[in-house]
Chains A and B, each alone.
Chain A
Amino acid sequence: MSFDPATIAAYVDGELDDLTARRIEREAESDAALAAEIARHRALRAQLSAHFAPVADEPVPDRLRALLVGDRVDTSLSERREAKRARFAPAHWGAIAASLVLGLTLGLRPWAPAPDVTGANGVLIASAGLADALDTQLASNQPANADIRIALSFRDRQGRTCRIFEGRNLSGIGCRDDGRWALERTMGGHETGEYRQASSGELAATAAAMMAGDPFDAAAERAARDTGWNR
């Protein structure tokens, strides 16, 4: 074996220049001991990654998130927001959205425009304008005055395409499931009076916990749309 252990480790860690890396690869083809050594190092990296990966998938404890997503600005406004938030904690928005859906689907508000949300087997599903926005709008290229803005698209750990959306009455995360957009997380939109900067931060944090890999860049997002958001 003509490579020292440090060089082999550096190769596995991706630290070698291309030329040296290619020399190692070529030599490993005919040097079983070298190939075994590389495999040994790779196996350790894989074992460690696999062992610690679930920690990053755990939901972040509230006590940590609260340090960052609460209103920390020292103004009387923040106190009022705090008081409001106590009445309308984000967790309630799912219930509010659900009762809104119920009201709309029962036809109690016939004058209202087509609802953006319907329910199916206890799952909130995007419909009408919201479904259109999720279907067609690109975070990288959308009208400045769009009713619903797409903030981010990503792939979740189940392999679904998910998108953060922000609208007047409702913001949340929709994931493409079985040809529909299932709403995984919902909260008030930016005209509900409850909208805070922290809302988008909370959605981003939720998305970060759901995400597999990096969020889509413009090209990946376009490609996903062009293939119908399928897995």
Chain B
Amino acid sequence: MRFEEELVELLPRLRRFARGLTQSASDADDLCQAAIERALKSREQWQQGTRLDSWMYRITRNLWIDDRRAASRRGVHAPIDDAVTQIAGDGIAEVEAGALRGDVDGAMARLPDEQREVVMLVLVEGYVYREAAEMLEVPIGTVTSRLARGRETLMHLLGEAA
């Protein structure tokens, strides 16, 4: 199948992933557009026979992180490292359990970026830990610990009976 056709088939899922990362429909489509343009430009870097979806998710995620870092330098709040995460985590603990019952977007928005991306990849997109680790270029242990923290926060905010 042609490269473009495979990409077209991926688009619905890629948009879902981008929506979860950016929390905004228009930002998500901007991100997808940037990712498609990047993929078309660097298509020779994709090796035929390897998974196009993993490659696309990685491109999308990296563009998103770049954008978040740039926003952070401009002074927009965007926790990206573990030290900042810890503070964000403490802040979350103050929110009453179940305060965001049913508000998945609100709960996801409170997750630090590196937890949100793992939650999206594993719990929504259904990738196994190893695949998520490869896409994010981190050890599997990092995936499981970020996932555990993200999960706890979400369950806390959304309430027990989800």
Contacts and interface: CB of A to CB of B under 8 A. Distances in A.
The 9 closest A-B pairs by CB, nearest first: A43-B162, A51-B104, A55-B16, A56-B12, A205-B8, A47-B162, A201-B5, A68-B4, A56-B16
A90 B29 CA distance: 23
Interface of A: 5-6, 9-10, 13-15, 40-41, 43-49, 51-53, 55-58, 60-61, 63-65, 67-69, 72, 197, 200-202, 204-205, 208-209
Interface in B1-29: 2, 4-5, 7-9, 11-13, 15-16, 19-20, 28-29
Contacts of B36: 64, 67-68
B147 A60 contact: no
A40 B155 contact: yes
Given A44-B123, A48-B104, A64-B36, A201 B15 contact: no
B40 interface: yes
Interface of A is mostly: helix
Interface string B137-162: 00000001001100100110010111
Given A56-B15, A201-B4, A64 B128 contact: no
A52 B13 CA distance: 10
26 contacts: A13-B122, A14-B128, A15-B128, A15-B129, A40-B160, A44-B155, A47-B162, A48-B124, A52-B20, A52-B104, A52-B124, A55-B15, A55-B28, A58-B12, A60-B8, A64-B15, A65-B11, A67-B37, A68-B4, A201-B5, A202-B8, A204-B5, A204-B9, A205-B9, A208-B11, A208-B12
A201 to B, nearest CB: 4
B119 interface: yes
B16 to A, nearest CB: 4
B86 interface: no
B136 interface: no
A63 B8 contact: no
Contact of A208 (B8, B16, B29, B32): B8
Given A13-B128, A49-B123, 15 more contacts: A10-B129, A10-B144, A41-B155, A44-B123, A47-B162, A51-B105, A52-B16, A52-B120, A56-B13, A65-B11, A67-B33, A67-B36, A67-B37, A68-B40, A209-B12
Nearest to A70: B4
A228 B162 CA distance: 40
Interface string B67-85: 0000000000000000000
A44 B129 CA distance: 17
A45 B120 CA distance: 10
Given A44-B123, A48-B124, A64 B11 contact: yes
A65 B12 CA distance: 10
Contacts of B19: 52, 55
Nearest to A67: B36
A121 to B, nearest CB: 30
Contacts of A197: 2
B104 A13 contact: no
A58 B33 CA distance: 16
Contact of B147 (A9, A46, A209): A9
A117 B2 CA distance: 30
A20 B137 CA distance: 28
A7 to B, nearest CB: 10
Contacts of B32: 64
Nearest to A51: B104
Contacts of A48: 104, 119, 123-124, 154
A61 B5 contact: no
